[in-house]
Amino acid sequence: MPEILQYGFMQRALLAGAMIGTIAPVIGVFLVLRRLSLIADTLAHVALAGVAVGLLLGAYPVAGALVAALLGAVGIERLRTVGRLSGETALAIFLSGGLAVAVVVIGLAGGFNVGLFTYLFGAITAVQPRDLWVILILGLVVLGAVAVLYKELFAITFDEQGARVQGLPVEGLNLLLTVLVAVTVVVAMRIVGILLTSALIVIPAVTALRLARNFRSALWMAVACSLVTVLAGITASFYLDIPASGAIVLGGILLFAGASLLGPRR
Is there binding between residue 218 and another protein (CB under 8 A)?
yes
By beta-carbon proximity to another protein, the closer residue of 157 and 245 is 157
262-265, long-range: CB < 8 A, 24+ apart: 263/210, 263/211, 264/210, 264/211
d(CA 90, CA 28): 20
Stretches 2-10, 13-21, 157-165, 180-188: which one binds another protein (CB under 8 A)?
A: 157-165
Quote the CA–CA distance of 158 and 11 in Å, as a whole number.
Answer: 39
From the list 132, 164, 227, 253, which residue makes contact with another protein (rule: CB under 8 A)?
164
In the bound complex, what is the minimum distance in angstroms from residue 152's beta carbon to another protein?
6
The rounded distance, in Å, linking the Cα atoms of 158 and 165 is 13
Region near another protein per CB under 8 A, out of 8-16, 36-44, 68-76, 150-158: 150-158
Smallest gap from Cβ 190 to another protein, in A, equals: 29
Q: How far is the CB of 73 from another protein (least distance, A)?
A: 21
Q: Is 214 in the site for another protein (CB under 8 A)?
A: yes
Q: Does 158 bind another protein (CB under 8 A)?
A: yes
**Count of all residues that appear for the chain in the document:** 266
Rounded to whole angstroms, how far apart are CA atoms 27 and 57?
31
Question: CA–CA separation, 256 vs 196, rounded Å?
Answer: 16
Interacting residue with another protein among 149, 227, 232, 250 (CB under 8 A): 149
Does 165 sit near another protein (CB under 8 A)?
yes
Residue 34 DSSP symbol = T
Looking at the Cβ atoms of 188 and 208, the one nearer to another protein is 208
Q: Decide if residue 216 touches another protein (CB under 8 A).
A: yes
Tell me the C-alpha distance between 19 and 197, whole Å: 14
Number of CB atoms found within 10 A of residue 23's CB: 26
Residues that bind another protein (CB under 8 A): 33, 148-149, 151-152, 154-155, 158-159, 161-169, 208-209, 212-218, 266
